[in-house]
Amino acid sequence: ISLAAGIHPSKANGTQIEFPISSLGDKKQWSAAVEEQDTCFWTISVNPPANTPIGNYALFLHASKAHCLLGNFTLLFNPWCQDDEVFLANEAERQEYILNQEGIIYWGTENAVLAQPWDFSQFEKCIVDICFLLLDVGERHQRDKDHSQRKSPVHICRTVAAMLNCDELRGILTEYRTGQCSNGTSPSKWLGSSPILQQWVASRCKPVRYGQCWVFAAVMCSVLRCLGIPTRVVTGFTWAHNTNSNLSVDEYYDEDGTLLTQDKSARVWTFHVWNECWMARADLRPEYSGWQALDATCQEKSKGPSFCGPAPVKAIKEGDTDINYDVCYFFAAINAKCQVWIQKADDTLKPAFGGTKYTGNNISTKSVGSERCEDITHNYKYPEGSFQEKGVLDKAYRKIKKLETTSNSSETQFSFIPAAFEEPVNLYIHLQSKSSLTLGQDVPLSIEVFNHSGGEKATHLVVGVQSLHYNGVPITQLWKEEFHFTLKSNEANRLQVFVPYSRYRKDLGENHLLRLTAVLRDEDSFYIYFAQEEISICGPPLTIEFPENMVQYQPSTARISLLNPLTEPLEKCVIVVAGRGLIYRQRKYKLDSVQPDGSQELQISLTPIQAGPRRLTAHLTCLQLHNLKSYKTIDVAAA
């Protein structure tokens, strides 16, 4: 028996192999054994070793001086095999992180985590061929002709990550930049990975427009699951992006509380989405095996590729910032502290007291075997303020200090957190609102100001609301109000204000996020105090109903109902429906205007062709809403 893989198979790199047919199988090398035989037929089993490079193989039989092609096969990683580097012992986790094609991606804010459906479709027709084409293109552009490296899940993860978001490599996706909207699909409109991968192939490997962090992570999950690497999508809230491993980041606001950004970028994102992949790290000590963080979103790194990882999650938690790959970037993103500065009219900067933000909160992923959100923050960091956290930070600082004294300036380095400003114990400000609201509701704001000092204080308070993108970039200032009042010693002033729906209805943005700010100035000392909150605006109810029983191959009907809670009609409503195994491809339906307090119902005819749990997803866009998704799962009985 002989086999060959790749365009230029070679015995030297293990992509061209010959081995005899015997009665004994050797698990550590290629072997073939006769299982059954008669005068006309042989049944032969061929067994590859666990460390064989994945890929497409041609299988030949040699007899005397003749040989013939027996066929072609595709070899993947095998998480069921104990000798494979991606072996995952738990069967429920294998079902979730390899076989499950329907996922959930979390976004929103740390106090209001919202679920978004995603169809990974890793076993859809042609997807495996697209995945290997992706590897071919990536390796070709990296001038890597050694197919033997494909035995390493680390190599595969880094190759796929490099391809996800890199135009010069003819990557899969073009990153959506703030303000872009033409000649492409908005990231929030994608419902699954298959249309993206199919479009990439159909366009001869030109990047698909557009993606953002959750799209990169979702497509990465599809590709790696397809290749046999257990993978999940992870979301972290309040993420310090492009810190260049700096553990102290700054945000700048004007005196009205409006965030000031340069080049339409922000340091602290409301949320960020990346991947975790399960594997043994043969290149590291055994304790670093297990979940590895992998981030395909572009980073502004001083050297090396623009993606990050795979980084052992264990190393991130323990502050082992010198471990490969890019542990320092993940560590900084979830441990940095953000200092707020106020830029005055004369362009001078003053520190804002009370405005420090802590990053890396509510790190979340879909739980195994259910649609429940699982908080995995404890995998990445010790509790805020704990003795263990202090020890990890101290260790990280020592490693950083050693790097700074022993390495060249070109090396990646952390910066120390500067000493905290000595905060005057004079005034205290607290800002509070509901963590999420339904579209159409006014935004309630509660502001409390307390004077701790021994004397009277004259104060100036500015309360504002901005709409913003998920990456922290503001869209526009929607509303502000100023207050002047004097507080006696140990006196509190409590304010209740409401921001009307009319102020945010036209400029809400695709991510439906609002940032609330309060800037308090002590008129005597000119000290500035700052508080902020971020809230999610949820869309109106979009409900999906199935009949009580649904049977494979039998026509059926689902109902989608839209209720309008607004005092104005919902105009130009379009609903896109998708459901692998329930309907063929995506369907688009245009609805009439939905009147105030009215509803509209859509009948969806479908014939399920696959049994088992099946999900139907509906995506609504209209003049008032850019992104409202709903989903429901039904168990289809086998015919």
pLDDT band at 485 (very low <50, low <70, confident <90, very high): very high
What average pLDDT does the segment 245-266 reach?
Answer: 82
2-75 and 91-405, same CATH topology? no
Ranges 53-67, 130-144, 161-175: which has the least confidence: 161-175
What average pLDDT does the segment 367-376 reach?
Answer: 96
What's residue 410's pLDDT?
A: 43
Ranges 112-121, 169-178, 438-447: which has the least confidence: 169-178
∠ Cα 33 78 2 (to 5°): 35
Mark whether 62 is an active-site residue: no
Task: Single out the catalytic residue among 157, 166, 213, 338.
Answer: 213
CB 19 within 8 A of CB 32: yes
Query: Residue 401 above 70 pLDDT?
Result: no
What average pLDDT does the segment 352-358 reach?
Answer: 86
Percent of the chain with pLDDT over 90: 72
What are the respective helix, strand and coil percentages of the chain, to the nearest 5?
20, 40, 40
Mark whether 272 is an active-site residue: yes
pLDDT band at 40 (very low <50, low <70, confident <90, very high): confident
Which of 232, 214, 224 has its CA nearest to residue 93? 232
What average pLDDT does the segment 380-385 reach?
Answer: 94
CA–CA gap between residue 186 and residue 264 (Å, rounded): 18
Any idea where the domains of the chain sit in the sequence?
Answer: 2-75, 91-405, 427-538, 542-637
* CATH class of the 91-405 domain in this structure: alpha beta
Task: Single out the catalytic residue among 272, 469, 512, 619.
Answer: 272
CATH architecture group of domain 542-637: Sandwich (2.60)
Mark whether 378 is an active-site residue: no
* CATH class of the 2-75 domain in this structure: mainly beta
Q: In this predicted model, what pLDDT tens digit does every residue of 184-231 receive, in sequence order?
A: 999 999 999 999 999 999 999 999 999 999 999 999 999 999 999 999
Q: In this predicted model, what pLDDT tens digit does every residue of 100-123 receive, in sequence order?
A: 999 999 999 999 999 999 999 999
Counting Cα atoms < 13 Å in the Cβ hemisphere of 155 gives 19
Averaged confidence pLDDT in the chain: 90
CA–CA gap between residue 446 and residue 449 (Å, rounded): 10
pLDDT band at 267 (very low <50, low <70, confident <90, very high): confident
Query: Residue 433 above 70 pLDDT?
Result: yes
Name the more confident of 501 and 264. Answer: 501
CA–CA gap between residue 297 and residue 218 (Å, rounded): 12
Tell me phi and psi for residue 153, to 5 degrees: -65, -25
Query: Residue 156 above 90 pLDDT?
Result: yes
Query: Residue 8 above 90 pLDDT?
Result: no
Structure tokens at 130: 């697209």
What average pLDDT does the segment 562-576 reach?
Answer: 94
What's residue 261's pLDDT?
A: 81
Buried b / exposed e over 472-501, threshold 16 CB at 10 Å, is bbbbebbbbeebeeebeeeeeeebeeebeb
CATH code, 427-538:
2.60.40.10
